[in-house]
Every structure is written in structure tokens, then in C-alpha cells.
Homo-oligomer: A and B are copies of this chain.
Amino acid sequence: MKYIGIDVGGTHMAAGVVDEEGVILAKAETPTLPGRPFEVMIEDMGAIANKALKQSGVSLDDVACIGVGIPGIADNEKGDVIFCTNLFWKDEPLRRELQKHINKPIWIENDATVAGFAENAIGVSRGCKSSVFLTIGTGLGGGIVIDGKPWTGAHGVASELGHLTMVIDGEPCTCGKDGCMERYCSATALIRMGKEMCIAHPDCDVNKRINGKLENLNAKIIIDSAKDGDSMSLMLFNRYTRYLALALNTIVSFLDPEMIVLGGGVSHAGEFLLNSIVEKIPQYLMFKTMPFAEVHLATLGNDAGLIGSALLAREMIRE
């Protein structure tokens, strides 16, 4: 059988036909354009699913089910999206609406959860009994795998690692709380720190790279400056990766998974990021001489959500 995976992001939606090994046979994309009527957005979602199906040459009869990864949380009994803040979705009947366009069993899951599941099924953490996937991008998301299956909690609100409190009464967060981990560990956090540096030190290397135009600052510019050895950028980068090392220590001390996988935009900084985090972990461990989780970069890239949605739907609907 084949499976359709759909990954819904804030800017793009992608749909793909995936085989038993998690290989993408065909893929189609369309802009998400949040703010449009829900039914219109789902019509687009159905269209890319059907387009990918046609391109793949697979017949609808050979598709067992569809998985949808969303930046929010879902209720799979009803087939509804409960929350999807960035898309302005609240209590929307995703399954019912999508089945009007492509009529197959549908499983809906959080995007970080499915990406983590994909890495655990066919990516870098393949075969791990337990793993935690940390997606470091605009926000900070978590995907927990326990005993080879996604762990979404007793009420579906688990693995919201971005919203653990990291600094009591700290930076205000988009979620309405203060001091969330996301405010110190995401790309957004690194950019905020970078802007503060540019304002305090207008002659710094990063400010030169953006010609003083703060609105042009992104995480890559700061990381590139640090990679090139600028001492002020390196200090900033180490301050940032210290927060990430503390986040990883929380994962180790709480759940002690076999592996921690780093994904999302910031993880494209590669070994430079990985080494800067991993070298800081031991000082925060309680049992300093004990083994702890291996830390690796994600390997499936942007396709992790699509592949994970498809493979997870297979697991959940098969049961």
C-alpha cells in the first residue's frame, strides 16, 4: 500500500505520496495563505494531495490512508483541529472537510511530533526505543517517541517543549506566558539577541553585514559571523547555545531518551551548532560520569513532516 502525507506550515502546504519505506514517490505544494476561509484552505489541501497522487501514478485504491501534520493540536476521535494558532484555526473539522476532496481515513497530528516520528522511523534516530526531536526555527517544537511510538500525552498537550518556563518572569512569549524556552532557544530568540547587540555596538560585524538595517537580520547572518570567527558574534552564539544546552539537559534529566535530534532552520548551521551545544551539556548533568543521550542533527530536512504524517497514519489506522 501507499500513504499520503500532508505537511501544513505557516507559509506552505506540501502533500506527498509515500511508500512503505517512507520514500516520497511524488510531491506537490501550494501557499498556505492563512486567514482565508477554512473550507477554501482545505480545498487547496485536497488539490495538492490529488495532484501528487496523479503525478505518482498510484491509484486512489492503493492509498491506505492520509496523515496530516499541523502546527497545533488535534482530536483524532472527532477528526478535528483543536488549535492551530498561526493558521487561525480553532475547532475546525479537518477530516470531514478534507474527505470531501479525497475520501480516505485521516490521522491528524502535531508537526513536530510527526517530524520526530519520521526521524525515528527512517531517519537519524531510526530504531531508537526513545527519542526527542527538537525543531529549532521561528518557534521551538518538540516531538517525543517512546517505545517507538509518538507520545502526545494523556490530553494531547505533551511535548510542548517551547513553552516550558526557562526564565521565571522572563521575556514575554507569544503564547501569553513569560520566559518560555522558545524565547531563548528559537531562531527568533537569536535574532532578538543579535538586534540588541547591533543597537549596543553599532560597529559590530553583524551590524556591518546588514548595513545597520535591523529588519534584514536573520539567524544565518549571526551564525555566519560567528563561524567566521568574529569574537563578539561568537560570544553571542555561545550565550544562545548555552540556553540550548540547558534545554537539552532538561530533556535528559526528565526523560533520558536514547537520542536527541535537532531539526528546524537553525539546525542547518550543522556541526558548528551541534558541537557548541554538546560541549556545554556535561556541566549541567547530575550524573556527570553516566552515559546520556546521543545528540544528532536531523537528516530528513523539510520532508520529515510529510513522511512522518504518512507513516504515522499507517501506524495509527492499522491498529
Contacts and interface: CB of A to CB of B under 8 A. Distances in A.
Contact of A153 (B142, B159, B255, B288): B255
A292 B157 contact: yes
A152 B256 contact: yes
Contacts of A25: none
B161 A254 contact: yes
A309 interface: no
A158 B287 CA distance: 11
Contact of A165 (B156, B158, B160, B284): B284
Contacts of A167: 168
Nearest to A245: B165
Nearest to A252: B157
A252 B153 CA distance: 9
Contacts of A258: 154
Contact of A129 (B154, B168, B246, B252): B154
A160 B292 CA distance: 13
A293 B254 contact: no
A255 B286 contact: no
Nearest to A291: B155
Given A73-B287, A165-B246, A253 B160 contact: yes
A177 interface: yes
Contacts of A155: 256, 290-293
Oligomeric state, in copies: 2
Contact of A257 (B153, B168, B253): B153
Nearest to A158: B256
A223 B293 CA distance: 40
A256 B158 CA distance: 5
B151 A146 contact: yes
Most buried by B among A129, A175, A250: A250
A186 interface: no
Contacts of A250: 164-165, 250, 254
A157 B73 contact: no
A253 B290 contact: no
Nearest to A176: B288
Given A82-B290, A246-B165, A287-B73, A253 B157 contact: yes
Nearest to A283: B177
B157 A286 contact: yes
Given A155-B293, A157-B286, 10 more contacts: A144-B255, A154-B258, A157-B287, A158-B253, A158-B255, A160-B253, A160-B287, A164-B253, A175-B286, A250-B250
Interface of A: 73, 82-83, 128-130, 142, 144, 146-147, 151-161, 163-168, 175-177, 246, 249-250, 252-258, 283-284, 286-288, 290-293
